[in-house]
Structure 1
Amino acid sequence: MTDSTAPMIGILGGYGRVGAAAARTLAAEGGHRLRIGGRDATAAWALARRLGGDTEAAVADAANSQSVTHFSRGCAAVLDCTGTAFALRGRVRREVLAAGGHYVAMADDGGPRTPSGPFVAVLFTGLSATFAGWLPRRLATGLAAAQRFTGWYGGPGTAPLHAAVTCLLGLRRAGHGPRAVDCPPLPAPWGPSWPLPARPGTVRRGLPEELREQSCLLRLDAGAWYEVFHGTAVPAVLDAFAARSEGDDEESLTATARQLVRAGRGTPRGSRGLTVCGTLDGLTPEGSAVRRGMLLGCSEPTALLGTLAAVAVREVTAGRVPPGVHSLAATLPTEGTDWISRHLPRATVRMTEVLTGAPEMMPSAPTAAPQPG
């Protein structure tokens, strides 16, 4: 049985694909009570019964302020997996914070980025942008100085509509559209492991807001981020959107997001997994120049999203995130990667470190995640 004094985490949209994955992760970790919410009471209670313990369910409609307030009462934090955050323009966040809980959203809610009293708000800014901000933080852990970071993202071709909207908002925040380039060769030993075509359709280089922030905080000399796509359909939609100077209203963003989802459906079979790779040059506390690398491969991006959501809300309720509005990239822990391998089926994480100029890499043993219980 879960301790009745353990913090309550409410999950709006808790029986959807991302919400259910987050709920399963939190239930497996323990230390929390869970409240599954959504408009479908039957689905909410069905998941609550499967999770067991002190998990409860409640009817909640994200579009109804009174319903959100009622659902949020007693929650240390509310995880919003409904996908309606942007359309509601920060309203769910305001209701959750007013009810006395922290707020974590798996979308950009379009609300202000200014602090709201003693509470925490965490916004998801897309998988690519999240890893662009988290990878340099992870690789710089324990170094005396970080100098240069380069990252590659090969993502799934399709995405839920709300994730596509979040991607477009992130592109707008970046201030300029990523440009198509030739893909630089991946450093050993990643090259043979990179599960993408020998000639990917499009490679785009950009500088997401999350990487710009970390470049400043880590005082990097240089940072680069490459997105690798199968084919040209998805990049064509992104480039057309970046070239527009207007059209960020809800209707226009939703229409473009639908185009993005349709374009992604043309992704070749077998290429729907996600692969992220990053390298960081820096100095150890002893003054040695090193290059660190990390490779993450995941065949189930939805499970990855759920794990990221669960870890973020766990960090928030544990008091490890200061008050204010943060991106998910700045919230994820940097110590270790076991939180990935414990919950992601068939995920692979590999870390390397080499003295600069040394003849060979010294990879750690790759870790393949067990099937979740």
Structure 2
Amino acid sequence: MSAAGAPLVGILGGYGRVGGVAARVLSAECGYRLRVGGRSADAAWSLARRLGTGAEAAVVDAADRQSLRHFTRGCTAVLDCSGTAFALRGRVRRSVLAAGVHYVGMTDDGGPHAGAGPAAAVLFTGLGGTLAGWLPRLLADGLDTATRFDGWYAGRGAVAPHAAVSGLLSRRRALDVPADTGPSRLPGGDLPAGSPSRRPDGPPGTAREEEADQAGPPGGEAPPAARESRPPWPLPARPAAVHRFLPEELGRQAYLLRLEEARWHEVFPGDATPTVLDRLDRRPPGTLDTRALMAFARELSRARRLDAEKNSPYEMTYGTLDGLTSDGIAVRRSALMHCTNVSGLVGVLASVAVHEAAGGRLPSGTHPAAATLPPRGTADWIVRHLARATVRTTEIPTGATGTPTCSPMAARRPG
């Protein structure tokens, strides 16, 4: 498709770290025409010139309804990386949808999720939660049935306060899994926590896991914690915390895949970040208003920056899934994703969501980003557009020594 005939995608905050990556990916991967928008004309035009033919720049204020309407005109989809979505409580999303344009927001705006009109909306609910919802879909692709999922997430690197909001909201909506209760079981037929029937102001979303290294009694069955999977990397030397909970995105996939068990752990290296999250988790439901949440987001941003000082940033996700192939063979699949460009990873996920929406592959209504990412296509985009990023998958017959059944997807860019 020529640039002149390609769909137009508008990017609010398009010259920022996330928006800039998404713009480059959408231009290189799909040839979209791009409208780079923001309050700085110089920054917008600078990126548009680097993107080349098919890119234009526009000055836009997301808080101004008339300015936003003018920016949206002619677009097939709008990607919102402006960081103002939560402060505006969904007004940007409603304005874009009212114009019949698809909307992808990189901050959970906290507004009502009811759809309006034929267009689709996608909300990014934090990096950890999004990966928790995408990873089991990647592992289940091609399996006849799936039964049990274990997931781990670890990350280090600074985040902006507006980016921290989505992760904090996701934690408040998650299911708390006390460390002494064993695996988080999802009885067959019951809606797990995090399914559409769950109240958004449910219990706090984390519990410190203290028994991860317990061994079973001699001659007896190991305790539930000892049966859990281990990540393929060593847990950080203390100070660090391992929080176990069930993200809403993973709860949805557990229900759709009819999983019997689902577990999720997040590893937080350093002192500062776990301290802020523990204080958040102690807040009773219903006491976290907009002002308090933004205060926590600013604290978390400072804590992440403090824990990341003199250390290289990274994001690492690992999961295992037990299930049956179409031939009835019991297997365990595993996947490991690693990258060093945290903002770049978010930008790639944003571009994938935009591509799905602009291509008409999403139904109308509001969707979490995790549910919109095509399993293997997303992995391909990650390794194609991020230097030193890898996604490796294996499949091993249960109870036997196996070998990888699909070749590792390795970074195709030098670096």
Return the TM-score normalized by structure 2. 0.85
* Residue 208 of structure 2, aligned match among 177, 180, 186: 180
Residues 1:304 and 2:345 are matched in the alignment? yes
Unaligned runs of 5+ in 2: 175-201, 213-224
Q: Check whether the contact 1:18–1:302 (CA below 8 A) recurs between aligned residues.
A: yes
Over alpha carbons, which structure has the higher Rg? 2
Cα deviation, residue 133, structure 1: 0.5
State the alpha-carbon separation in 1 of the partners of residues 340 and 394 from structure 2.
22
Bigger shift: residues 112-121 or 363-372: 363-372
Q: Which residue of 1 aligns with 2:306?
A: 266
8 Å CA contact retained: 2:388, 2:411? yes
Q: 1:200 to 1:321 in 2, by over 3 A?
A: farther
1:252 is matched by which residue type in structure 2?
A
Cα distance, 1:100 vs structure 2:
2.0
Alignment partner of 1:292 out of 325, 333, 340: 333
CA contact (8 A) 1:350 1:367 kept: yes
Q: How far is 1:170 from its partner? A: 1.0
Aligned to 2:129: 129
| One-letter amino acid of the structure 1 residue matched with residue 354 of structure 2 | V
What does the per-residue CA deviation read over 1:19-51, in whole Å, with 9 as the maximum and x for residues that have no partner?
Answer: 001001011113311100001011101100000
- Contact (CA 8 Å) 2:100, 2:118: kept in 1 or not? no
- For residues 69-127 of structure 1, the C-alpha deviation after alignment (integer angstroms, 9 at most, x for no partner) is 11001000000000110000000011111222010000101111122221100000001
- RMSD of equivalent CA atoms: 2.0
Deviation (angstroms), 1:367: 3.0
Identity of aligned residues (%): 58
The AA in structure 2 aligned to 1:55 is A
Check conservation: 1:2, 1:33, Cα contact below 8 A. Answer: no
AA paired with 2:412? P
**Superposed CA offset, 1:236-293 (max 9, x none):** 2112112212443222111111111111122253352010001100111111111111
1:370 Cα offset (Å): 2.9
Matches within 5 A, 1:94-173: 94-173=94-173
1:198 is displaced (CA, Å) by: 4.8
- In 1: Cα distance, 2:287 partner to 2:86 partner: 15
Partner letter of residue 330 of structure 1?
Answer: A
Letter in 2 for 1:197: P
Letter in 1 for 2:124: F
Asked whether the equivalents of residues 388 and 414 of structure 2 are also in contact (C-alpha less than 8 Å), the reply is: no
Partners of 1:154 and 1:196 within 8 A in 2: no
* SS of match in other structure, 1:287: coil
| Matches of 1:114 and 1:214, distance apart in 2 | 20
**Divergent runs of 4+, >6 A:** none
Inter-partner Cα distance in structure 2 for 1:288 and 1:161: 47
Residue 385 of structure 2 corresponds to residue 357 of structure 1: no
Residue 339 in structure 1 maps to residue 402 in structure 2: no
Q: Partners of 2:43 and 2:155 in 1: how far apart? A: 30
Equivalents in 1 of 2:138, 2:298: separation in Å? Answer: 33
Q: Select 1:229's aligned residue among 268, 284, 302.
A: 268
Contact 1:153/1:228, CA 8 A, preserved across alignment: yes
Equivalent residues, number = 370
Aligned partners of 2:240 and 2:274 also within 8 Å: no
> What's the TM-score, normalizing by structure 1?
0.94
Distance 2:94 2:207 in 1: 37
One-letter amino acid of the structure 2 residue matched with residue 262 of structure 1: R
CA contact (8 A) 2:148 2:321 kept: yes
Structure 1 window deviating more from structure 2 (290-299 vs 92-101): it is 92-101
Give the match for residue 61 of structure 1: 61
Cα separation, 2, equivalents of 1:362 and 1:372: 24
CA contact (8 A) 2:383 2:409 kept: yes
Aligned residues of 1:2 and 1:53 also touching (Cα < 8 A): no
Change in 2 beyond 3 A, CA 1:106/1:354:
same
Q: Is the 8 A contact 2:150 2:229 kept in 1?
A: no
Cα shift at 1:138: 1.1
Residue aligned with 1:266, SS:
helix
**Equivalent position amino acid for 2:382 in 1:** I
Distance 2:325 2:242 in 1: 32
Which shows bigger deviation, 195-204 or 243-252? 195-204
* Separation in 1, partners of 2:84, 2:124: 13
